[in-house]
Structure 1
Amino acid sequence: MNPILDLTAKPISSLVYLKTNIGGWFFDAFLRSTHTSRLNITQHPVQTGAALTDHAFLQPKELSMEIGMSDAATSLVPGQFTGGWSRSVQAFKVLTELQALRVPLQVHSRLGLYQNMLIEEISAPDDYTTLYGLRCTVMLREIMVAQVRTVKVSAKPAVTDQANRGKQEPQSVNVSNLEQIRRKMSGG
C-alpha cells in the first residue's frame, strides 16, 4: 500500500479540509497539537528609519501532534490502516513510511492548513497501556520553498573583451610638461 494518498480521490476529498489529518490519513484521535511559529530577529543594532523587515525573517513552521489509534475502532475512511496485524501497528507503519519517503505533506488541523511539511520525529512509547492501541507524538517541520525566476534583460552580454574603442593614434607630448612632472616626483 502506498502511503502517499491522492487528496482529490473520494471519500478523502470531502474530508481533507474539514477534519484533522496528516497527508490525507485520518487517525482516530488527535489528543494534542502544538503549533509553533517563530520570527528570527536580528541581534545587531538597526539604524533608525531602516525597514525592519530586512532585519527579521520567519523560521519554518513546526507542528507537534499527539495521535491516538484504537484497534477496536473503524477508520473514518474505509480501507485506511488495513492489511496489517492491527490498525495501531499499521498506523505507526504508515507514519514511518511517510517519514522515510521524505515527501512534503499537507497537514490540516483545527488551527490551520500547513503545506510542505516533513515528519521530523515520531515518538511512540509502547507498554501495557498501548497493547491494543497507539499513542504517539509526531513532530512535523515546514520545508521553505522559494520560487526562482530568471529574467532576461538583454540579448547582448554585459561585459566583452571586444569593445570598439575607435581609432587610436599616438599623441605628441610637450617636453616642458614632462620636465615639470619629473621635478614634482623627485621633490624639487
Structure 2
Amino acid sequence: MILDMITLVPKSIGSITIPVLIEEAHQDELQITEHPVEKGAEINDHAFKRQPEVVLKCGWSNSDLAALAGLAQSIFSGGGLPSADYISTVYSQLLALQELREPFDVVTSLRMYDSMLFKGLAVLKDQKTGAALSVTATLKQLRIVETQVTTLPPRENQADPAATAETQNTGVKAATPATPAPGGSVPPTSM
C-alpha cells in the first residue's frame, strides 16, 4: 500500500501529477424516491445515480524528484536558483485549475474520472509540513449531456395520429358543471 501511494499507478488531477496519494475516498450514490412506489412498477424509474465524488488527500514536497529536476535545470541553464519553490507552484496550479472551472480528468489508484471539477480544495500547513504541501481535494463529476432536435413524421403518415401526432391548437375549452353520482352532495335537480 505504501509503495502504491508513491509510485505504481500514475495519479493526477488534470495535468498535475500527484507524487504521494495518502488517502482516497470514493462516493457513488443513488438518489431513491421518498414517494410510495406501486407494486410491479419499474423500480429504476424511481431512482437515479448521482454524479460520483472523490476526496483525495495528497502531498507534494520541495524534495520531490520533479522539484529537484526543476532546480537542476534552472541552475544548469544559467538561471540560478528559482525564485519560487516547487510546492508554491503546485498550489498555484491547483488554484488556477479550480478557478478555471473547466472539466478535467482525475486518475486515482482505483479508477479514472472524467469531467471533474473541484468542489473543495483544503491545504494544511503547520510546523511539520514546512517543505511540503498537504492537500485535501474534493472533486465532483459533471453530468454533461447532448441535446438533439427531431421532427415527427407528418400527421397523415401516422397510424394513430391522435396518440402520436404533435400537439394541435384546438381553441379554448370551457368547463361544464358535472352532475355527481346518486347520493352525491349536489342534487341533480339543482342544475
> TM-score scaled by structure 2?
0.67
Give the superposition deviation at 1:34: 0.4
1:26 is aligned to 2:17: yes
1:35 is aligned to 2:35: no
Q: Which amino acid aligns with 2:168?
A: V
User: Residues 59, 158 of structure 1: CA spacing in aligned structure 2 closer, same or farther, 3 A cutoff?
Assistant: closer
SS at 1:26's partner residue? strand
For 1:44 and 1:160, how far apart are their aligned partners in 2?
Answer: 34
User: Residues 25, 151 of structure 1: CA spacing in aligned structure 2 closer, same or farther, 3 A cutoff?
Assistant: same
SS at 1:57's partner residue? strand
CA deviations 1:32-55 (Å, max 9, x no partner) are 100000001111111111011110
CA deviations 1:139-172 (Å, max 9, x no partner) are 10111112211112247885368xxxxxxxxxxx
For 1:65 and 1:111, how far apart are their aligned partners in 2?
Answer: 12
- What residue number does 1:60 align with? 51
- What residue number does 2:37 align with? 46
8 Å CA contact 2:62, 2:86 repeated in 1: yes
SS at 1:75's partner residue? helix
The runs of 5 or more residues in structure 2 that have no matched partner are 1-8, 75-81, 156-165, 171-188
Equivalent residues, number: 143
- Identity among equivalent pairs (%): 24
RMSD: 2.5
**Bigger proportion of residues as helix:** 2
> TM-score scaled by structure 1?
0.68
User: Residues 44, 152 of structure 1: CA spacing in aligned structure 2 closer, same or farther, 3 A cutoff?
Assistant: same
Give the superposition deviation at 1:112: 0.9
1:126 is aligned to 2:129: no
Task: Give matches, 1:71-150, under 5 Å.
Answer: 71-75=62-66, 85-150=84-149
User: Residues 84, 47 of structure 1: CA spacing in aligned structure 2 closer, same or farther, 3 A cutoff?
Assistant: farther
Structure showing greater radius of gyration is: 1
Task: Give matches, 1:159-178, under 5 Å.
Answer: 159=168
